Amino acid sequence: MKERFKRVVNFYGEYGFEKIRNTRVLIAGLGGVGSHCASALARSGVGSLVLVDFDHITESGLNRNAVVGEEWLNKPKTEALSRTLASLCPDTEYIPVKLFITEETLKAHDFMRNSNMVVDAIDSVNPKTQLLQYCVERNTKVFSSMGAAGRRDPSKIETGDISSTTNCPLARMVRKFLKRRGVTTGISCVWSTEKGVKPLPPDANEPRLDRRGRIRNTLPSLITMPGIFGYTLAQMVLDHISSD
């Protein structure tokens, strides 16, 4: 055991840490929430991370990213995060997967890359619900982030099953979409009951586009709440691994 993991071993014990080292976690969505979650899992000694995203690093996203800087602007998030984390936490294996999640891409036989569990940090409803349905139907443990943007009060953060989420517009939409797919429970979530600030019109200089080219509104967001959401997900993952 390396000295850098001594405190993790002290916390979870030798056997718990061995399980952490032998686990591969897939993280889908590498923005504010996902990048912080990935950083925390790597720092904690998780053996392998599959990092999934189709987007690139933008200047407006740097205020929320856990580790990458301006040198990665316009580069794929998967490459930026994998290479940066590899320099900081070389004991973890990083598998970058530049991919937009759809029902078709989820059907690829190697999508999971032999991952033991999934973290969902996607902010687009269709890919998010498709991934969540995929995990539930395959009995794959999944931890999901609801809306962190536009919020500032850590005391309003809660965790629990998707069926328990309240006062979160994204969670409400996700539950609605999942119910159509026959899924109502079985997803561990982090969410906030705080009312978020209103979205702003798309930035003309940097429009937010989804895979099909639709312009998306701008969501005001700080680093704090996405970071807390990401670290909460990481804690949920670590506790699940060590107690499984």
Pairing verdict, β 24-28 and 48-53: parallel
Torsion on CA atoms 109, 111, 114, 116, rounded to nearest 10: -130
pTM of structure? 0.94
pLDDT at 128: 98
Q: For residue range 141-197, list pLDDT tens digits in order.
A: 999 999 999 999 999 999 999 999 999 999 999 999 999 999 999 999 999 999 988
For residue 36, which phi and psi values (nearest 5 degrees)?
A: -70, -40
The residue segments making up the domain with residue 102 are 3-243
Q: For residue range 190-235, list pLDDT tens digits in order.
A: 999 999 888 777 766 554 545 555 566 778 899 999 999 999 999 9
Which CATH number does the domain housing residue 83 bear?
3.40.50.720
Counting the structural domains of the chain, the total is 1
